[in-house]
Structure 1
Amino acid sequence: MLTQLAAKFRRERMPLAARRSYRMAITLSLVLAAAYGLNIGIPFLAPLFVVILMAKPAPPPGPKQLFILLIAVAVSLGVGLLLGPLLQKSPVAALIIIVGGLYASNRLVIAQGKVAIGTLLALGLTVVSAASSISSALASMLIAALVMGIAVAVIGQWIVYPFFPEDNTMVKPEVPPPAQDVSWLSWRATLIVVPAFLITLINPAMYLPLTVKSILLGREASQLQLQDANRELIGSTFLGGLCAVLVWGCLSLSVSLWFYFAWVLVISIVLASGVYGVMKTKFKPTFWTATLTTMIILLGAAVQDSANGKDVYQAFFVRMLLFMAIAVYAALAMSLLEKWRNRRIKT
């Protein structure tokens, strides 16, 4: 009853875009606190899934949908577990399968809008297969972390959504790109991920954030025009790094989980307002979403470095250089591929 009254009050007094911004920021921060408080493996994945699931405004999945999603996740990640030994015995064949799988995962996102399933399939094919090629125990830990992360993300949505609901109107589904462009965009996104995956094979535990970032960059690139690529791909990565530095600097004033929650909440409200158009800028929602995901990944990796006794600032500097390098590569690859395609069309 209380949540219904609160929802009615917010529908009448708070604009829809503002509700969506608060909903994403509060859910993300709450899930982040829960992931670290429960000590689930790779805690930054849970708030990352919040952004992936909530980028398109809609009510959260119900219990039945969550169960189906978790089954699909376990199956898709299990594929990566099977590919690990093949990477050791027949790397060329394994790479061909992985590239084909990445293409299929990108088609799921671009043509059908299944962002969560497509992203998790890509993670299974890359991160889990790389980890499985070294240790089946490490791969199993990654699968458990991914499944737990998405479960915690959805439960966080269930808690927050009644306080910041959608209006009682149908959300228009996004129109997919023309059929002739779907294959091209899927291949383009795949080619952005492959170099980062090859680097991850060197040390899956160290380079996992790089692969996650490259998958998200590929998704972002599939929604951009060539003239926007440099500004969005490189700019969002740089701004995400600055936001991570800002949160880390504020966190040093008082190191505790609740301060971590509070600082991430403050920055997330600002970035989410860009995602949903509360803050009017020349940047598209994809720019602000990419900035938010970059901040989450870098902060999560920094917390892990601190827990393992590493030099956080040195590790952050190296990781940020790698993130900027993959963003520059993505923009350059996108430009060259588009020029090659246009030349082929003209001839």
Structure 2
Amino acid sequence: MPTERDPRIQRSLRLATGTALCLATSFGLALPIPFLAPVLCLLLLASVNRPLPFKAGLALALAAMLTTGIGLLLIPILKYYPLSGVLLIGLSLFLVLRFGLRGGNSLIATFLVIGLTMISSAGVAAFDLAAMVIGALVQGLLLAVSMVAISHWLFPESPDAPASPSPPALPAEVVDRVALRAALIVIPAFLLALIDPANYLPIILKAVSLGQQSATTDARNAGRELLGSTLLAGLLAILFWCALSLFVHLWMFFLWMLLFGLVLARKLYRVGPTRFTASFWLNTFITLIILLGQSVQDSAAGKDVYTAFAVRMGLFILVTLYACLMMHLLEQRPRKAQGLT
């Protein structure tokens, strides 16, 4: 093998292969909430260019179980004091997101957000549902760590490869405003999940992804970044479903995901020309997996896949438009205050 190779090519192959393998394995094993594992695998591969040691993987799974378990403690408050519970979760979301923006561990912050929103809203409907979501998250995380190790074995990182550039740190004076904006983006999806957790839990994942993406996007590009990635993911999901309908099989599911993943990974790592940021392509990939995973589950349950997809896509677009609105509103206030001063 040649010694001089663009590390971005290896990373693109690793990300697409690991995500496709995790997707096929998760659905093949019939894990609860099977699209969680490939989403977690995608986030791990996109954020870390080294395989996680076995002990680190177990520690991460334990941390996920403990952090998401916080949502179980909030269930009685939401049941008997709903207004106080929603306000408490909103404040907690702001503090957790601010912790992540100030340099805290992004995965721990994500697990805390999931615990505060997904677990607590599922527990209001049924405690067993909340416990099932925690179990699905831990199982999906363990599977994701295993697939990360396999993908690194298939496409190892070169020892002399430069590290991926870290995102620029936010100025200290805007961290609170960005954290507040991200919390306001997640809260409406959480309120929807309180109404019907079984159908609206994926909306929370989409809102969390939008909240994280809004931290690296300014108000001028909000529509193109947030709404554009959501619409592109919907279009890719339709093309994927039409291609998969030609021959429905688990291996074809893997191969089509590998093909679509390679296209998106090349854009994410800028192997091919693109005008959009890495967060745009990452959010597109995450939304594509969520839409496809829900459609496959709807098909297995005998539901009308096309109607369910249209409703889910409409909700995703509404959540994205609301995120764009929050970005514009909270972006204009400092400028007006500065002009008055």
Measure how far apart 1:185 and its partner are.
1.1
Given residue 285 of structure 1, which amino acid in structure 2 is its aligned partner? A
Q: Name the counterpart of 1:83.
A: 74
Does structure 2 conserve the Cα–Cα contact (< 8 Å) formed by 1:53 and 1:115?
no
Classify the secondary structure of the residue corresponding to 2:33. Answer: coil
Match of 2:209 in 1: 216
Q: How does 1:134-283 map to 2 (within 5 A)?
A: 134-169=125-160, 171=163, 173-283=166-276
In the alignment, is the contact (CA less than 8 A) between 1:84 and 1:134 conserved in 2? no
Q: 1:113 offset after TM fit, Å?
A: 5.3
Structure 2 CA distance for aligned equivalents of residues 279 and 115 of structure 1: 27
Structure 2 residue aligned with 1:114, among 90, 105, 117? Answer: 105
AA matched with 2:146:
I
Alignment match, 1:58: 49
| 1:58-79 Cα deviation digits (max 9, x unpaired) | 2022112112211211111111
Q: For 2:26 and 2:312, locate their aligned partners in 1 and report how far apart those are by CA, in whole Å.
A: 22
What residue is the counterpart of 1:47 in the other structure? Answer: 38
Q: In the aligned structure 1, how far is the partner of 2:259 from the partner of 2:117?
A: 33
Q: 1: CA distance between counterparts of 2:140 and 2:338?
A: 44
Matched, 1:286 2:279: yes
Paired position in structure 1 for 2:86: 95
Give the conservation status (yes or no) of the 8 Å contact 1:52–1:115.
no
Residue 130 of structure 1 corresponds to 121
What CA distance in whole angstroms lies between the structure 1 residues aligned with 2:329 and 2:167? 28
> Which of 12, 19, 28 is the matching residue for 1:28?
19
Cα distance, 1:119 vs structure 2:
1.4
Query: Does the 8 A contact of 2:268 with 2:278 survive in 1?
Result: yes
**TM-score, normalised on structure 2?**
0.95
With normalisation by structure 1, the TM-score equals 0.94
Secondary structure of 1:112's aligned partner: coil
Deviates more, 1:301-310 or 1:177-186: 177-186
Comparing 333-342 with 103-112, greater Cα deviation is found at 103-112
Q: 2:64–2:108: 8 Å Cα contact kept in structure 1? A: yes
Rounded to whole Å, the distance in 2 between the matches of 1:43 and 1:314 is 21
- Once the two structures are superposed, residues 6-57 of structure 1 have per-residue CA deviations (whole angstroms, 9 ceiling, x without a partner) of xxx3x62642111111100000000011111111110000000112112224
Identity among equivalent positions (%) equals 41
Task: Flag the 1:175–1:231 CA change in 2: closer, same or farther, 3 A.
Answer: closer
CA distance in 1, matches of 2:338, 2:78: 37
Q: Does 1:321 align with 2:314?
A: yes
Distance 1:42 1:183 in 2: 33
**SS of structure 1 residue aligned to 2:237:** helix
Q: CA deviation at 1:166?
A: 2.4
One-letter amino acid of the counterpart of residue 85, structure 2: A
Contiguous gaps of at least 5 residues in structure 1: 1-8
Partner of 1:345: 338
User: Are 1:71 and 2:62 matched, yes or no?
Assistant: yes
Deviation at residue 223 of structure 1 after TM alignment: 0.6
- Asked whether the equivalents of residues 19 and 42 of structure 2 are also in contact (C-alpha less than 8 Å), the reply is yes
